[in-house]
């Protein structure tokens, strides 16, 4: 069964970027510390990254995040999604208008202009097709940014929330849960490594 999984790194004070994020500084000042776990040599971190990216049948992201990863200082062969841990899932971008051009032409991009719900539905179709091809259940992963994940949670589109809690206090930046719809989650898994606490919740 294809699940919708929101997966994001967050600071102890609830920020998913540091202060002043932008095109050339996508994670904001100090925000790189949020993703230390993804480049760690800790065996548990490597396993979680490998398992998380391997289950990705399709990936949803917002337009601001797309502009960062497709920008001149964005992804390359060493810093792309999963960074050597997975093949190339389909990517679905929520946007008001498609970009005029794409730098990362080797990736499968779909641009959905009719809202987040339609983008998630399109990603589910791609993930289900990939599941049939591979003969294994694959999921839709919402990788961000923070506003996209928060909106998906508020809209009831998410089945599982995975937070990678980094041991850093950023003080400011992009908050994940400001103004969120109140809800109680079911804790499913906690993995503590040398670089982060990985939390998994079922969303009902």
C-alpha to C-alpha distance for 63 and 26, rounded to whole angstroms: 12
Q: When comparing pLDDT for 19 and 7, which is higher?
A: 7
Question: What pLDDT sits at residue 2?
Answer: 93
Q: What tens digit of pLDDT does each residue of 68-102 get?
A: 889 888 888 777 775 455 557 999 999 999 999 99
| pLDDT at 60 (0 to 100) | 97
Q: Kindly tell me if the per-residue pLDDT of 122 is higher than 90.
A: yes
C-alpha distance from residue 34 to each of 13, 166, 167 (Å) = 12, 5, 8
Q: How far is CA 121 from the centre of its chain?
A: 16
pLDDT number for residue 87? 58
The verdict on domain 4-11+32-202 having CATH code 3.40.430.10 is yes
Express each pLDDT in 153-190 by its tens digit: 999 999 999 999 999 999 999 999 988 889 899 999 99
Q: Is there a contact between 139 and 128 (Cβ–Cβ < 8 Å)?
A: no
pLDDT at residue 76, rounded to an integer: 80
Q: Where are the domains of the chain?
A: 4-11+32-202
């Amino acid at each position: 069964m294809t699940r919708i999984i929101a997966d994001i790194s967050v600071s102890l004070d609830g920020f998913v970027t540091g202060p002043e994020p932008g095109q050339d500084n996508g994670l904001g000042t100090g925000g790189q510390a949020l993703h230390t776990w993804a480049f760690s040599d800790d065996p548990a971190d490597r396993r979680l990254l490998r398992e998380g990216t391997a289950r990705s049948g399709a990936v949803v992201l917002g337009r601001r995040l797309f502009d960062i990863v497709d920008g001149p200082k964005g992804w390359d062969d060493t810093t792309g999604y999963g960074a050597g841990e997975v093949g190339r899932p389909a990517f679905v971008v929520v946007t008001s208008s498609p970009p005029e051009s794409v730098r990362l032409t080797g990736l499968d991009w779909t641009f959905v202009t009719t809202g987040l719900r339609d983008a998630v539905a399109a990603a589910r179709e791609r993930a289900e097709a990939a599941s049939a091809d591979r003969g294994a259940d694959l999921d839709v992963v919402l990788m961000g940014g923070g506003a996209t994940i928060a909106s998906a949670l508020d809209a009831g589109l998410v089945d599982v929330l995975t937070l990678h809690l980094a041991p850093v206090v950023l003080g400011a930046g992009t908050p994940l849960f400001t103004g969120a719809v109140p809800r109680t989650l079911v804790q499913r898994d906690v993995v503590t490594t040398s670089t982060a606490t990985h939390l998994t919740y079922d969303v009902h």
